[in-house]
Amino acid sequence: MQTSSARRPAPVSGRAIRHPVAHLVSRKAIGHPVVHPVSRKAIGHPVARLVSGEVAGRPFAYLAALWGVLFSAVHVYWLADGRLGLPDGRSIYGTPALLVIDVIAIPASLGATGMALALVRPWGRRLPSRALAVTVWGTAALLVLHALPSVPDWAALLVGARDSADFTSEERFATFLYEPWFLTGGILFAVAASCLARGRTRQP
């Protein structure tokens, strides 16, 4: 007669559970990046961060911030009656409209710098995500729209339909300096804003 111990299945030993194959279904394996690619640990992996835009978007946010600092510095220089970069070396004090624009541009540029840094600095995570996204995307759109009127001139120069010698001093200022700077800023802010759409970057 068979004993009850003979009919009972052999228990799984602790050694078998630690076997590599058995370990695949263990609780620890479920959290492994390979078995569970959407786990919290896997999302922090350098490759996953790159795919999510965290690593790729960070330099553009800092470049957008630098763009704002440089732009405000130029306007401070013009406000101090600097004339380098202005059409015909004129002063903004000779044109009231330019003076008003210059005064407004300084805090606006610094504000844009703060928005760009909010995308990548820890303190930016305390700001409402939706409001920050709307503000940064809106800044990018305004900068690109500001440069759009110069697109026909750039295209005409590219195909040889116009020559830079035909431009007035104001047209040269806008076509070769001012509007390219606006377009560059718009691109930088747009790419930086895209990293917020994929999930805010975190400072290591």
Q: What is the predicted pLDDT for the residue at 9?
A: 54
pLDDT mean across residues, the chain: 77
Tens-place pLDDT, residues 40-83: 444 444 444 444 555 677 899 999 999 999 999 999 999 999 98
Residue 116 has pLDDT above 50, yes or no: yes
What is the Cα–Cα distance from 112 to 67, expressed in whole angstroms? 9
Q: What is the predicted pLDDT for the residue at 54?
A: 57
Q: pTM of the full predicted structure?
A: 0.69
Q: Domain coordinates of the chain in residue numbers?
A: 10-43, 56-197
Q: Are 71 and 180 in contact (CB under 8 A)?
A: no
Residue 101 has pLDDT above 90, yes or no: yes
Sign of the four-CA dihedral 113, 118, 122, 123: positive
**N-term to C-term CA, the chain:** 69
Residue 27 has pLDDT above 50, yes or no: no
